[in-house]
Amino acid sequence: MEQTDFKQINSIFNRQLSNVDLAFKRYLYNEIDWDTRLIGIRGARGVGKTTLLLQYIKENFKDKSKVIWASLDNLWFKNHRLEDFVEYIYNHGVTTIFLDEVHKLDDWALYLKNFYDSYPDLKIVYTGSSMLEIDNSKVDLSRRQVLYTLGNMSFREYLNFVGALKYNALTLEQILNDHVNIAMDITSQIKVFPLFEKYLHNGCYPFFVEAKNNYLLQLNSVIQLVIESDMPSVMDVTYSTVEKIKRLLMLIVSNVPFVPNITKLAQILESSRDNCLKMLYALDKANIISLLTKQTKSYKHLASPEKVYLNNPNLMYALSGNVDLGNIRETFFFNQLQHFTDVVMPNQGDFFVDGKYLFEVGGMSKTFDQIKNIPNSFLVQDDMEVGFGNRIPLWLFGFLY
């Protein structure tokens, strides 16, 4: 590869770097062990993985000749081989390479393994917009890499992002044991309800700032891109199957929380039961839907889910013209907890968390009737600024990360 070839991709890197803002960083930024030789960061499209990489570069590399960032969905890689690119930058003193959108490259995991083995003093950080393909890799990188997952923005992050409030993340135990004092502290600084309503509508993905009034339209386009582009590259599916996945998603959207009868669903989609389950779990891993199961969810053993939610409230507004308030509440709660806790479907109540906490989610009129006399049971209530006893405001669970 010639210097003139490299100059083009390096110019793109410098342009992107100059435009990145350091004012707000996603929660994962400070959790990553950046000294690890091979780091993978997976997550849904639009959650801010590229910005996270560029922020780290801008803040930590005074000598920019030692580092390079490149997105593998750039047309430059259509007529330049990645192995030639890595060989060139390594020979010219680069010590750390950041590769975005690795799922755009066939056999990407094999490339990473070879780079890791062939350049023992080269650090590699990569991202993949599709969680599906990273998990489905045929090459075992587990002994070499540390893999992180970046979820959508929490309510706490949203408040920080819009400049309303900076507040440390809370543990679930802190919320359960001290929610009254915490809620009083937060509500003394901000008016929670208007900000919470805005977050539910358009605050789960950082690109809402740039998209402005077109945010929900752009989010809809992101969902289509995942189904039409990412999934076929992972599942090797036909056009017909892609259309079935779209149809399945719209069936879910019109009935959330969806209580699936897999046999009937397979008949509607003119598919087998196994393929129907595979489509559901594919949508789940793509962070488009969330499956609530009786036992801890496993992608190796596909059990029929008890309920199907959209992954977060913003997707509800983007995909449906009829958004149910009760469903919004449950979707928000499930979304905020599932990133760091084990959430399953209980026999009583709405959600059973970490094998010991039972939650019933609802409005101000919700009572303990369904979960009375059960240890470690809590009511999670909307339209409540400050709770009392085992009644906790819904919005406060947005401070978990």
Residue 205, classified by CB atoms within 10 Å of its CB into exposed (0-12), middle (13-18) or buried (19+), is buried
- pLDDT for 132: 61
Element (H, E) at 377: strand 377-381
Mean pLDDT of 341-346: 96
Q: What is the pLDDT of residue 393?
A: 98
Weakest-pLDDT range from 117-121, 196-200, 294-298: 294-298
Mind listing the pLDDT tens digit for each residue in 229-285? Answer: 888 776 777 888 899 999 999 999 988 888 999 999 999 999 999 999 999 999 999
What is the percent of the chain where pLDDT is above 70?
A: 97
| Tokens read off for 40 | 């993978």
Q: What is the mean pLDDT of residues 19-42?
A: 96
The answer to whether 311 and 297 are in contact (CB under 8 A) is: no
**Least confident interval from 16-20, 58-62, 317-321:** 317-321
Average pLDDT over residues 346-370: 94
**Residue 133, pLDDT above cutoff 70:** no
- Average pLDDT value over all residues in the chain: 93
Question: What does 154-202 look like in DSSP terms, one character per residue?
Answer: PHHHHHHHTTS-------HHHHHHHHHHHHHHHHTTS-HHHHHHHHHHH
Q: Residue 102 above 80 pLDDT?
A: yes
pLDDT recorded at residue 126: 97
**Which residues touch 361 (CB under 8 Å, ≥6 apart)?**
329, 330, 333, 350, 351, 380, 381, 394
pLDDT cut 90: percent of the chain above it: 83
- pLDDT score, position 239: 84
Task: Name which of 42-56, 96-110, 147-161, 226-240 the model is least confident about.
Answer: 226-240
pLDDT of 256: 81
Q: What is the pLDDT of residue 149?
A: 93
Yes or no: say if 370 and 188 are a contact pair by the CB < 8 Å rule: no
39 CB neighbour count, 10 Å cutoff: 20
CB atoms under 10 Å from CB of 368, counted, come to 16
Highest mean pLDDT among 75-79, 240-244, 358-362: 358-362
Residue pLDDT, tens place only, 167-182: 999 999 999 999 999 9
pLDDT band at 311 (very low <50, low <70, confident <90, very high): very high
Our measurement of the distance from residue 217's CA atom to the centroid of its chain's CA atoms, rounded to an integer in Å, reads: 19
- 80 versus 238: the higher-pLDDT residue is 80
Nearest to 304, CA basis, from 295, 293, 315: 293
Q: What is the mean pLDDT of residues 59-85?
A: 95
Q: Is the pLDDT of residue 205 over 90?
A: yes
Q: In the prediction, which pLDDT does 189 show?
A: 98
Q: How confident is the model at residue 43 (pLDDT cuts 50, 70, 90)?
A: very high
What pLDDT does 136 receive? 64
Burial letters 89-109, b for 16+ CB under 10 A, else e: bbeeebbbbbbbbbbbbeebb
Q: How many angstroms separate the CA atoms of 145 and 231, rounded?
A: 24
Tokens for 401, please give them: 């990360």
What does residue 305 show for φ and ψ, rounded to 5 degrees?
-70, 155
What pLDDT, on the 0 to 100 scale, is given for residue 255? Answer: 85
Q: What is the pLDDT averaged over residues 106-135?
A: 88
Average pLDDT over residues 183-202: 98
